Amino acid sequence: MDFASQHGPRPLPLFLAMLRSETAENPELVQRALEGLRRFQAARRERPMRALPVRRRRGRVKLRDAGGEGRPVLFIPSLINPPSILDLSRDRSFIRWLRGRGFHPWLIDWGTPGARDRDIDVAGHVERFLLPLIATFPTPPVLVGYCLGGTLAVAAAARSRVAGLAAIAAPWHFTGYGEEARAAMAAQWTGIKPTSEALGLVPMEALQAGFWRLDPGRTIAKYAAFANLDPRSEAARRFIRLEDWANQGAPLPHAFGRELFEELIAEDRPGQGRWRVAGATVTPAQCDAPSIEFVATADRIVPAATAIRLPDRRPGGTGHVGMVVGGRAEEQLWQPLADWIAALPMPK
């Protein structure tokens, strides 16, 4: 959307340091991973998808329109990494696929925060951006939130009139990360916080480092595996698309990072029923519209144990990104969600 591509793991120095530490006793793996990295950096890129047109704005946040004549479906992505994962390529666009099934999809594009956004926290993104944009729809939309966007969607659905709520790999019970992972994230925030306070922003590179630490061996192994792929294969093209997406992203406002790490992750305020949005505590039960959640049982980024625990819960044996754009995405997510939305009652 507005983010410049960087052809390589970001931050590259940290990736190389992790490569040394994870493969100290395996020189062959080092060489294959470095060869995979070289090929990835040199690979030709496909022409990017044209961004969906902007119809409305609220500050830096844009509301993009995929077109269509049917029921409005508002996609809310995470602020971490670009929203383009929902409109990734000509054959892997969840949004455009849904438009082809008779719906009218819309996409929240969070834009690029600047220093003046430093005091807008997680709840503030619901209050200042989501709720006013939802109010512009002439009929209540169906909210579809992915990852942390699903957490925000729950809060927005509790504070506005919507036709339905669908959460995809969305964390709510942050204790589900486990004590070890939460302690690691707390340590990560301790290291980031002075820089974040000084800049008013949390650099994307600092967040990426945290994701890598969740499974450093897998991060190295996927580049080693890429070295063995035919560069003309669909598997190679898919890897490049996803890695380019994963290595893009805008910073977060400082207040967003502080609330995320200190109140959501460390204190589990949503899971404990203590998260306040728009002046009051918010819970999933406050949404009076039909609700559903899709959980990836092999998810390392948002483990299944962190899920919202809605009564209508659809598990699938995929990972965090694979559930949205992987080879089984249409079977496990796209079609079931389309069927669910089609069965919703029309607003009166």
**Distances from the Cα of 145 to the Cαs of 27, 51, 336, in angstroms?**
42, 19, 15
pLDDT-derived band at 121, boundaries 50, 70, 90: very high
> Residue 344 has what DSSP assignment?
S
For residues 328, 334, 337 and 338, what is the CA-based torsion angle, rounded to 10 degrees?
Answer: -140
Of all residues in the chain, the percent with pLDDT exceeding 90 is 79
- pLDDT tens-place string over residues 132-144: 999 999 999 999 9
- pLDDT tens-place string over residues 154-176: 999 999 999 999 999 999 999 99
Say what the pLDDT of residue 95 is. Answer: 97
Say what the pLDDT of residue 21 is. Answer: 83
Q: What's the mean pLDDT in 112-120? A: 95
Helix (H) or strand (E) holding 191: helix 179-199
Other Cβ atoms within 10 Å of 32 Cβ, number: 20
Q: Is the pLDDT of residue 4 over 60?
A: no
Residue written as tokens 């990360």? 177
How far is it, in rounded angstroms, from Cα 159 to Cα 278?
8
Q: Is the pLDDT of residue 254 over 50?
A: yes
Q: Is the pLDDT of residue 5 over 80?
A: no
Q: Using CB atoms within 10 Å of the CB of residue 311, give its burial: 0 to 12 exposed, 13 to 18 middle, 19+ buried.
A: exposed
Report how far Cα 283 is from the mean position of its chain's Cα atoms.
21
pLDDT-derived band at 246, boundaries 50, 70, 90: confident
Give the closest residue to 64 by CA, choosing from 110, 95, 108, 111: 108
Residue written as tokens 């959460």? 167
pTM for the whole thing?
Answer: 0.92
> Residue 92 has what DSSP assignment?
S
How far is it, in rounded angstroms, from Cα 300 to Cα 303?
5
Q: Do you find a cis peptide bond into 216, omega within 30 degrees of 0?
A: no
Say what the pLDDT of residue 348 is. Answer: 66
Say what the pLDDT of residue 346 is. Answer: 83
